[in-house]
Homo-oligomer: A and B are copies of this chain.
């Protein structure tokens, strides 16, 4: 057989769609080396980037023709399941209005990063980003503004969580990332590679509009609530975004976008 054909799933208890079962609840636990890609845009990036192997796809019957061309780029052995809305919702455990799901695999061969790749010029460092919307938005901006790699500390949430991935419009699948257990290890790695580090903070000492990034520049974003620890703010070069007095700082992903765009503008 040389042609791909869709495999109908009529019974929600069909074991072939087990990885899609009750995904809302199971998002919150480790997914045994797998993640859920949801929606056309994320599927498109998943297929185009070819960084994460695709295990299968589960498509709503009336959405199939719209993604069939895209699915042809997957290896023939990757099964494409098709189901009615009723069966799909029963499998997933809630209403899947986008009608497009796929299972990606996280390669177990990802080793801790020992050295920063020589071609990385713009590096984003995330400390304690715990909100999936923010994580997704940060990766969306990282992909848009040419970040070469993202380094996350152990307090960060999982960028491959379904919602983060969806909000990133696939940016999580595009920009390489590595998670470390400790923030201090990330700083050590960057310093060892002679990469300049600057941290964004409402109390930062330099305004980003007057800041010139270095040839190799790491930008640190701290947690949504309390920001980066004071002891790190004292050690690192710090940047702030000028804004109106008496108003709460902008969202962490927005602050990051302003700094990343500044870096990009000065380099191109």
Contacts and interface: CB of A to CB of B under 8 A. Distances in A.
A168 B126 CA distance: 23
A240 interface: no
Given A244-B146, A257-B258, A261-B258, A250 B141 contact: yes
Interface residues of A, number: 30
Interface string A158-197: 0000000000011100100000000000000000000000
B254 A41 contact: no
B249 A144 contact: yes
Contacts of A264: 242-243
Contacts of A174: 247
Nearest to A255: B257
Nearest to A243: B144
A127 interface: no
A226 to B, nearest CB: 15
A244 B145 contact: yes
Interface in A238-268: 241-244, 247-251, 253-254, 257-258, 261, 264-265, 268
A250 B258 CA distance: 12
A156 interface: no
Given A137-B254, A242-B268, A253-B254, A143 B261 contact: no
A140 interface: yes
A113 interface: no
A209 interface: yes
Interface string A18-30: 0000000000000
Given A41-B248, A170-B248, 11 more contacts: A144-B243, A145-B243, A145-B244, A171-B247, A174-B247, A241-B261, A242-B265, A250-B257, A254-B254, A257-B258, A258-B258
30 contacts: A41-B248, A137-B251, A137-B254, A140-B250, A140-B251, A141-B254, A143-B244, A143-B247, A144-B243, A144-B247, A144-B248, A144-B250, A145-B243, A145-B244, A146-B243, A146-B244, A170-B248, A171-B247, A209-B265, A241-B261, A242-B264, A242-B265, A242-B268, A243-B264, A250-B257, A253-B254, A254-B254, A257-B258, A258-B258, A258-B261
